[in-house]
Amino acid sequence: MMEENMELYSQVGRNLREIRRQRKISLEELAEKSNVSKLTLGKIERGEANPTLNILWKICRGLTIPLASLLVFEEKTEVYRFGVDPHFNGPNNDWFVDPLFKTFGTMEWYRACIEPNSEYSEFHLAGSEETILVLNGQLEIKVGKMHHLLHQWDVMKFKGEEMHTYINRSDEKVHLMLSLTYKDVNQTL
């Protein structure tokens, strides 16, 4: 097997093994319950397999656990180096966003940049809260119909579901940190 994603496979395997052991059932029993061969189950648990969505599904059904549970784990320390890691550009290269820290569900972190004399609008799902910190320069933010002018290191928090616009009226790039918090896992999508 390719050694590309060993760490991922190991994590998933560890999760499965832990759950199975907790239930005190053998590989063979699980094979019956899930209709996945004992060999495949073993390989997955040992991190030697790249299982199919269908197989993951069958295993989770066999254990009556949610599909995502096998794929949740502490991801290793993550470092995103400024200017090195890829980011998402806006349609006119007037802003970009680096999503940071692939934490699950309740919180997301972004590093963003708005080009001089440009703006960017968005809104998020109900129940989300957005917190931003301006890293440099000054930034105008419109939330609903209210405008706010923020300076370096100013922090602001608002309801994410309201349409909001980041406006950079200066002649320099403005950078900001941005975090989104959701009330509920199901609302992150």
Which residues bind to a copy of itself, rule: CB under 8 A?
4-5, 8-9, 12, 15, 18-19, 23-25, 33, 50-54, 56-57, 60, 63-69, 71-75, 86, 88, 91, 98-100, 102-106, 185-186, 188-189
Q: Which residues contact 12 (CB under 8 A, 6 or more apart)?
A: 44, 47, 51, 70, 71, 73
Picked from a copy of itself, DNA, none, the partner binding residue 57 (CB below 5 to 8 A depending on kind) is a copy of itself
Chain residues 117-136 in contact with DNA, contact rule CB under 7 A:
none
Q: N- to C-terminal Cα distance for the chain?
A: 33
- Smaller CB separation from DNA, 39 or 155: 39
If contact means CB under 5 to 8 A according to the sort of partner, which of a copy of itself, DNA, none does residue 177 touch? Answer: none
SS3 157: strand
Looking only at residues 30 through 69 of this chain, which bind DNA when binding is defined by CB under 7 A?
35-40, 42-46, 48-52, 54-55
Question: Which partner, DNA, a copy of itself, none, binds residue 26 by CB below 5 to 8 Å per kind?
Answer: DNA
- Provide the minimum distance between the beta carbon of 170 and a copy of itself in the complex, in angstroms, as a whole number: 25
Contact criterion met (CB below 8 Å) for 96 and 88:
yes
The first and second tokens of residue 131, run together, are 């917190």
* Least distance in angstroms from the C-beta of 154 to a copy of itself: 26
Query: CA 111 from chain center: how many Å?
Result: 13
Residue type, 157: K
Q: Letter for the amino acid at 111?
A: R
Place of tokens 């602001």: 156
Q: Is 84 exposed, middle or buried (0-12, 13-18, 19+ CB in 10 A)?
A: exposed
Distance, CA of 124 to CA of 161 (rounded, Å): 5
Residue 44 or 176: the one with the smaller Cβ distance to DNA is 44
In whole angstroms, the minimum distance from the beta carbon of 137 to a copy of itself comes to 25
Q: Does 12 bind DNA (CB under 7 A)?
A: no
The helix/strand/coil state of 33 is helix
Q: Give the span between the Cα atoms of 187 and 55, in whole angstroms.
A: 26
* Partner whose footprint covers residue 35, from DNA, a copy of itself, none (CB < 5 to 8 Å by kind): DNA
Residues within the interface to DNA (CB under 7 A): 1-2, 26-28, 35-40, 42-46, 48-52, 54-55
